[in-house]
Amino acid sequence: MSNKIRVVFYGLGEMGRAIAAATLRRKGIEAVGAVDVAKGIVGRDLGAVAGMGPVGVTVSGDAQDLLSRVGADIVLHATVSRLPEALPQLAECLRARANVISTCEELSYPYRKYPHLAAELDLSPDQRTAVSATMAAMQGEARRLGEEILAQERALDQTFTSRTITQSSLATLTAQIARLQGELRFVHLRAHLAVRAVLSDEQVRRYDSRRGYAGSEVRR
């Protein structure tokens, strides 16, 4: 039995390609699918789209069909920034019983643009202030780290393109990327814990239900 994490890449724009390139270089990862809607990308090999060699995974244009077949452990979702547009895509992933990591900015804190959700959670003024401050700080740090990761990925790609890569520089660059990815993950999860700390158990239950977590095996 393989212990590798089965990953689907959902969205292969600039950010999605950078995420795919970084992830595919890591040990313990098995790419089992990729999804995009661009005609110039559908049907191509995921590795080629990500600027690497072929990996034997063809990009699909049908997310529902793909997710129903491949048994993904996790979906790396990088398509749109607005929650209303991302929500149907995220729902497809959750119906397939997959964990999801998304770049959708509004997913981290939907209360500001979607006050009906905040109303359902019955947030007090103090809670809204605390959550707003936490998410604003997280978004600033995450944006900075994301830009650093993309810069490091471009530097790594350039060394391969120019054929100046060495084992030493490869080790240095990939270690820097891994460190930044770890910091980014920490920033997101730290904010998640901070927000949960100011919500009551009932508020957490309502929010999880609205996001499709209730009754699923999605780990938080």
Task: Indicate where the chain has its CATH 1.20.120 domain(s).
Answer: 115-210
- Neighbouring-strand partners of residue 8: 33, 75
Superfamily of structural domain 5-108: NAD(P)-binding Rossmann-like Domain (3.40.50.720)
What average pLDDT is seen over the chain?
A: 83
- Top pLDDT among 184 and 106 is at 184
Q: What is the pLDDT of residues 28-53, one digit of tens each?
A: 899 999 999 999 999 999 999 998 88
pTM higher than the cut 0.75: no
β-bridge partners, 30: 6
State whether CATH 3.90.550 applies to domain 115-210. Answer: no
What is the per-residue DSSP string for 16-44?
A: HHHHHHHHHTSTTEEEEEEE---TTTTTS
Q: Cβ of 191: how many Cβ atoms within 10 Å?
A: 21
State the span(s) of the chain assigned CATH 3.40.50.720. 5-108
